[in-house]
Amino acid sequence: MTTLVIGGTGKTGAPLSKLLHAANLPFLIASRSGKAPEPYKAVTNANIDRMYIIGPARVYEPFPIVKPFIDLARSKGVKRFVLLSTSQDEAGDPLQGALHQYLIDIRVEYTVLRPSWFQQNFGDILTAGIRDGNQTVSATGDGRTLFVSTEDIAEVAFGALTAEPSLNKDILIFGPELFSNDDVAELFSSILGRKITHQKIPIEALEKTFLGIGLSQQYAQVLGKFETNVSNGLEEEKFKSSVDKVIGKHTMEEYIRANRDLWVKQ
């Protein structure tokens, strides 16, 4: 068994690679840089039979890009695919949903991971707003979600890659606590020792922001819809009603405390 980890240095790929390495399981990394950090190996000629897939960033329709890659992988002997999607992407939907449906249709061994919002987003795309402006911005209103650690996602991916037999289903992945973005701002305030606020903006303003960073109109609208769905209680309802779900163990407070320096002005 050899696993190819797409995005092996990314938010979920990096902790997954650590788990595979710790379990002494053979794997290779594919990354945008074309390099793998020590002691891991980048893609070489190998008998790969399973694969962790992350679609291309900022692409509204990844299916035309990723499908040929899946087909090539199958022709080379890959039998199992673990796809990273989102909690709000159902099979057949835009973004990762078309790939989700394709894995079902071609009858391969598969698992689709559908995590809620990443805790790590606060240390990535939202870092500057907190550090320099003392605020987070969203269109989620008072809606609550369950921010999940990418380490917990990686553990589910590891299980899906190594399970026998294959799981052949999608799994919702949530953090252990329900939080609104107001709640998260209060948590940041208590840990950083200064007032952090959550600015609630209308969906139109959010979509304009997405367009400003180069996203397409369609992609901006879908991401805006995701935040509106949180505002309307969809994430909370999914958590309460779903059967195939995993609840992570890493809390939002643990994440903020462990990475506190990210939001401290130098």
Mean pLDDT (whole number) for 3-19: 93
- The reported pLDDT for the residue numbered 45 is 61
Question: Average pLDDT of the chain?
Answer: 94
- The reported pLDDT for the residue numbered 87 is 97
Give residue-wise pLDDT tens across range 27-49: 999 876 667 777 877 776 678 99
- The reported pLDDT for the residue numbered 265 is 86
Q: Does 129 or 1 have the greater pLDDT score?
A: 129
Sheet holding 3-6, edge to edge: 27-30, 3-6, 50-53, 80-84, 109-115, 169-174, 245-247
Let me know: does 12 contact 31? Beta carbons within 8 Å.
no
How many structural domains are present in the chain? 1
- The reported pLDDT for the residue numbered 223 is 92
Least confident of 31-35, 126-130, 154-158, 260-264: 31-35
The conformation of residue 196, written as its DSSP 8-state character, comes to -
Q: What is the pTM of this model?
A: 0.93
Give residue-wise pLDDT tens across range 142-161: 999 999 999 999 999 999 99
Confidence check: pLDDT of 24 > 70: yes
Cβ-Cβ contacts under 8 Å for 202 (sequence gap 6 or more): 139
Confidence check: pLDDT of 77 > 80: yes
- The reported pLDDT for the residue numbered 30 is 85
Give residue-wise pLDDT tens across range 171-217: 999 999 999 999 999 999 999 999 999 999 999 999 998 999 888 99
124: phi > 0 → left, psi -120 to 50 → alpha, else beta; which? alpha
Cα-to-chain-centroid distance, residue 45: 28
Confidence check: pLDDT of 235 > 80: yes
Confidence band of 114 (pLDDT split at 50, 70, 90): very high
Q: Which residues sit opposite 245 in a β-bridge?
A: 172
Top mean-pLDDT range of 5-9, 42-46, 79-83: 79-83
- The reported pLDDT for the residue numbered 213 is 86
Q: Which residue segment(s) compose the domain that 55 sits in?
A: 3-263
Confidence band of 50 (pLDDT split at 50, 70, 90): very high
For residue 258, count CB atoms less than 10 angstroms from its CB and return exposed for 0-12, middle for 13-18, buried for 19 or more.
exposed
Please state, in angstroms and rounded to a whole number, the distance separating the CA atoms of residues 192 and 262: 10
Task: Supply the CATH number for residue 228's domain.
Answer: 3.40.50.720
Confidence check: pLDDT of 58 > 90: no
- The reported pLDDT for the residue numbered 42 is 72
Please identify which residue in the block is written with the tokens 């994440």. Answer: 255
